[in-house]
Amino acid sequence: MTAADPARRVALVTGGSRGVGHGVAAALRDAGWLVYVTSRRGTGPDGTVAVACDHTDDDAIAAVLTRIHEETGRLDLLVNNVWAAPRGFAGFTEKFYERPVSDWDTLITVGLRAHYVASTLAARIMVPQGSGLITSISSFGSRGPLHSVLYGMSKTAIDKMMYDMAAELRGTGVAAVSLWLGLIRTERLLASGLTEFAGFPLDVAEDPEYVGRVIDALARDEALAAYSGHTLVTAEAGARYGLVNNDGATAPISHRDAFGGGPLFPPH
């Protein structure tokens, strides 16, 4: 197949040079998607179209979406994953009043604003074609204190953004969903030698590719419209679709109980 093949579904994964984004892009590639991946240096998994993009620059994001539309004529899936730590960031150990206010410029500008910009531009392609899925990577940081004040703010805002976008997308054929990931078995975490992190065991954490398989299954789901506007827990969605980790056997566990209850959106 070629990029111009109308039978091939097209996806954009932002921030796909490593970690969750890399795994999601690889899983979508393996599932037959034509996958575009953004990163600062223009790197991504083999077999994907890697594009350099500064996600603090609205025009740069627009250029990526324009390129995809010009090369393929469509966009079927957006995975908002890009994220950046503040300069000099040492690991979420300091309180908000001990950190520089400029932390906002990465945790909110990249971790939230860039998602809004990409979603807006993606919707301008998806709505006219009458189909598509916009997903944003969130976390249980929406439910309880996790990492930092700004981290929690950005994730809660992402959930609300997907909820409200879904309301305005109703009837267009385009869905918007927020995803709460659990502990992720990144290469860095696995190399640490730890068997658990923050009280969660690594052996039942989520492989990055597992998240991608969940998104692929969600995009294929004939009931997708019913999930639009919802915050979904990836471990629970994966269990519903019968998905497992890369070892072919392990089903990741949900952190729902550890964070005290159900999803924020839709409101009860």
Q: Which residues are catalytic?
A: 151
Contacts of 222 (CB under 8 A, 6+ apart): none
Angstrom distance (rounded) from CA 55 to CA 36: 15
Tell me whether strands 132-139 and 77-80 are parallel, antiparallel or unpaired. parallel
Report CA torsion sign: 202, 78, 123, 221.
negative
Say how many C-beta atoms besides its own lie within 10 A of residue 166's C-beta. Answer: 22
Q: For residue 59, which amino acid is it?
A: D
Angstrom distance (rounded) from CA 205 to CA 201: 7
CA diameter of the chain: 53
